Structures are given as structure tokens and as C-alpha cells.
């Protein structure tokens, strides 16, 4: 079949396609994923707003100044920032088609993510052990919900990252795998953007 | 700029171009923009109210830096639709945050004082 118009004139009964797919570029997955990130952004906005409203309702319990360990938060922020640039290195390796470099940088990124999660879980368990669990006050409920949701996102980001490492090892740098890696890069950097809000709004302003 | 920019793979263009220079710039900027607020708060350099506004300013700048250098956002991505979605989301977020804080602050301020003894006996 050479083209649709010649088939039409030849038989006269062939179906007419008004949509030949020209205006539907492959890149629409990335736009769709961006839309997902924007809706995720709204979830975080709601949690930030909740924290803004409830963040000073201590119910005679501990405040942020009593609880937060800023050096630990600084380390955590550093880990997430480092994981962002190592993911960037992974993407550059992907563009050059260097699978080994890509896998190595992805592994480093995952380790930074795991470090971040470990510190966050340590912080949470420490707080709960001190009696400052989510049930203690409205401040702590909103704190655990906001920071916990971010941590959950990081957890799923790491799962996704490990999945993609296996995919790339098994199938190589196919177009689909590259698209997935780009999506995960947006997800990962987006989580870093959310973390800027968390450390500024929750931790730094919480101890002021 | 670099080879990465001109490189097109055989499987087709995925519409994504990262450069080492872009990532390095973004990383250095965000380290600076993170370190200064932490230093301001931990060393108690300025009065709390001033610190609050300054660190919020730093956070806003850092979000823009991450958007440009890490998320590669500009007005041309996806023919402008990404930027449009971002602007729309930003407006909704600002309305939601500012509105919630404003409304709830006034509700707290205008609430009738409750007798602590009566509050203890509330359901």
C-alpha cells in the first residue's frame, strides 16, 4: 500500500482516515507525565496548606524548635541534592549511549535516595520514641503527613529506579527505556523541588 | 555547546537534552541557595522575622533554578504546553496556600474565646 489516497481512487471503498497521526508526536508521554507531576504538586500544596494552618497548634506538646535536628536535615538536604546531580550524570551517560556509566550513576542515585530515606526513618522513629508521634498534636499530624508523603514518593522513586536498572540491563537503551528514564528524571527532580519547600517551610521556619 | 547537545540517537529524538554545564550550574547554584538559609537559621544571624522572609525568598529562587537547570523547563518544551500547565498549577497553588492561611488566620483571630473548663467537657 503506497498511500491512502491512491488506495481510495483504486477501489473507491477503502475507509477514509481523517487522522493520519501527523499531529500526534511521540513526545506526548512526557507532556502527560508533566501533567501528572503538576497534579502531584497540588497534593503537596494541599498538605503544605494544612501544615501552614495547623503547624503552630502544639496542643501543649513539643514545637519544631524542640524537636528538629537541623544538622541532620542539612545532611538529608545534601543527600537529595547530590542524588539530583548524579541523576543528571546518568541522563548525560544515557544521551551518549554509555550503558555502564548510566547504570553506575543510577546506582549512586539510588544509594543517595536510600540514605535520605534511612535518615528520615531514623528521625521519624526518634520522634515517635520521644512521644512526639503523629497523634500527639495537630502540628505533628500535619508534619508526619507532609514529610511522610514526600518520603513515600522517594520510596516509589527508588523502586522505579531499580526497575529501570533491570530494564536497561535486559533490553538495553531502547527508545521506550529512554522515555522511562526521562520520566523518572522529571519525577526525581520534582521531589527535590518539593523538598526545598519542606526544609524551608517546615524545618527552618519551624525552629525560628 | 557540547557533543551531548548535537547527539541524536538512531531510535529517534526523545525531546530531552541534558548538558553537563547545565547540571553543574544548577547544582552549584542550589548548594549556595541551600547553604545560606541553613546558615542564617542555625547561626541566628538576623532577627526571626527578617530571616523568615529571606529564606522564603531563597526557596523561591531555588525552585526556579531547579525548574530551569534540572527539569529543563522553558517556554518551548512541548510547544509551550508544559509551561502553560506549570503556570496554571502555580496560580492554583498560590490561591490555595494564600487563601488557606488568610482564611484560617482570620478564623482563629475572630473566634470567640472558649472557657477551658467548658472545652474539657466538650464531646
pLDDT for B2 equals: 39
On the question of pLDDT at A46 being above 70, the answer is yes
Average pLDDT score over residue span A166-181: 94
- Residue A10 has what pLDDT? 56
B53 vs A: CB within 8 A: no
Burial class (CB in 10 A: 0-12, 13-18, 19+), B39: exposed
> Measured between CB atoms, does A49 come within 8 Å of chain B?
yes
Closest CA to B78 of A189, A30, A38: A30
Does position B123 have pLDDT exceeding 70, yes or no?
A: no
The helix/strand/coil state of B7 is coil
Residue B5 has pLDDT above 50, yes or no: no
Query: Cα-flanking dihedrals φ and ψ of residue B63, to 5°?
Result: -60, -45
Phi, psi at B74, each rounded to 5° = -155, 180
Contact between A52 and B97 using a beta-carbon 8 Å cutoff: yes
A107 touches chain B (CB under 8 A): no
Q: What is the pLDDT of residues B48-57, one digit of tens each?
A: 999 999 999 9
Distance of CA A60 to the CA centre of its chain: 35
pLDDT for A160: 97
> For residue B93, what pLDDT is reported?
95
Q: What is the mean pLDDT of chain A?
A: 90
- From chain B, pick out residues whose CB is under 8 angstroms from the CB of A53: 100-101, 104
B86 and A38 within 8 Å at the Cβ level: the answer is yes
pLDDT the model gives residue A169: 95
When CB atoms are compared, the residue of B16, B23, B37 closest to A85 is: B23
> What is the pLDDT at residue B113?
72
**What's this model's pTM, rounded to 2 decimal places?**
0.84
Q: Is A11 or A15 the better-scoring residue by pLDDT?
A: A15
- A42 CA: distance to closest CA in chain B (Å): 7
Kindly report which listed range (A39-53, A110-124, A128-142, B71-85) carries the lowest average pLDDT score: B71-85
Closest to B56 (Cα-Cα) out of A23, A48, A40: A48
| pLDDT computed for residue A4 by the predictor | 47
Q: Residue A101 burial by CB count (10 A; 0-12/13-18/19+): exposed, middle or buried? A: middle
How far is the CA of A163 from the CAs of A103, A107, A148, A168, A181, in angstroms? 12, 11, 23, 9, 11
Q: Is A72 on the interface with B (CB under 8 A)?
A: no
Query: For B35-69, what is each residue's pLDDT tens digit?
Result: 999 999 999 999 999 999 999 999 999 999 999 99
Please, where are the H alpha helices in chain A?
4-11, 28-54, 64-67, 70-95, 99-129, 138-171, 175-197, 205-207
Q: What is the pLDDT of residue A202?
A: 95
User: For A162-168, what is the mean pLDDT?
Assistant: 96
A192 touches chain B (CB under 8 A): yes
Tell which phi-psi region holds residue B19, choosing left (phi > 0), alpha (psi between -120 and 50) or beta. Answer: beta
pLDDT for the residue B16: 72
In chain A, % of residues over pLDDT 70? 88
Q: How many CA atoms lie within 13 A of A38 on its CB side?
A: 19
* pLDDT for res B10: 38
Amino acid at each position: 500500500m503506497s498511500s491512502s489516497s491512491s488506495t481510495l481512487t483504486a477501489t473507491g471503498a477503502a475507509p477514509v482516515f481523517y487522522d493520519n497521526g501527523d499531529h500526534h508526536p511521540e513526545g506526548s508521554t512526557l507532556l502527560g507525565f508533566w501533567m501528572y507531576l503538576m497534579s502531584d504538586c497540588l497534593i503537596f500544596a494541599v498538605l503544605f496548606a494544612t501544615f501552614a494552618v495547623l503547624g503552630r497548634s502544639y496542643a501543649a506538646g513539643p514545637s519544631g524548635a524542640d524537636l528538629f535536628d537541623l544538622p541532620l536535615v542539612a545532611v538529608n538536604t545534601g543527600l537529595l541534592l547530590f542524588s539530583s546531580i548524579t541523576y543528571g550524570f546518568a541522563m548525560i551517560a544515557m544521551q551518549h549511549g554509555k550503558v555502564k556509566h548510566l547504570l553506575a550513576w543510577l546506582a549512586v542515585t539510588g544509594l543517595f535516595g536510600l540514605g535520605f530515606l534511612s535518615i528520615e526513618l531514623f528521625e521519624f522513629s526518634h520522634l515517635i520514641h520521644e512521644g512526639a508521634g503523629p497523634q500527639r498534636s495537630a502540628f505533628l499530624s500535619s508534619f508526619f503527613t507532609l514529610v511522610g508523603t514526600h518520603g513515600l514518593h522517594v520510596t516509589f522513586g527508588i523502586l522505579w529506579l531499580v526497575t529501570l536498572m533491570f530494564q536497561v540491563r535486559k533490553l538495553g537503551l531502547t527508545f521506550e527505556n529512554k522515555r522511562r528514564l526521562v520520566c523518572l528524571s522529571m519525577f526525581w527532580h520534582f521531589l527535590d523541588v518539593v523538598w526545598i519547600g519542606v526544609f524551608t517551610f517546615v524545618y527552618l521556619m519551624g525552629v525560628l | 555547546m557540547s557533543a551531548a547537545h548535537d547527539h541524536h540517537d538512531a531510535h529517534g529524538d526523545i525531546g530531552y537534552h541534558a548538558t553537563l554545564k547545565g547540571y553543574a550550574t544548577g547544582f552549584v547554584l542550589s548548594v549556595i541557595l541551600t547553604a545560606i538559609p541553613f546558615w542564617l537559621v542555625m547561626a541566628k544571624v538576623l532577627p526571626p522575622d527578617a530571616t523568615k522572609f529571606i529564606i522564603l525568598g531563597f526557596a523561591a529562587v531555588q525552585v526556579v533554578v531547579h525548574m530551569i537547570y534540572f527539569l529543563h523547563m522553558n517556554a518551548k518544551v512541548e510547544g509551550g504546553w508544559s509551561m502553560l500547565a506549570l503556570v496554571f498549577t502555580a496560580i492554583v497553588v498560590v490561591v490555595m496556600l494564600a487563601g488557606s492561611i488568610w482564611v484560617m488566620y482570620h478564623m482563629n483571630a475572630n473566634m470567640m474565646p472558649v472557657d477551658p473548663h467548658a472545652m474539657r467537657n466538650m464531646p
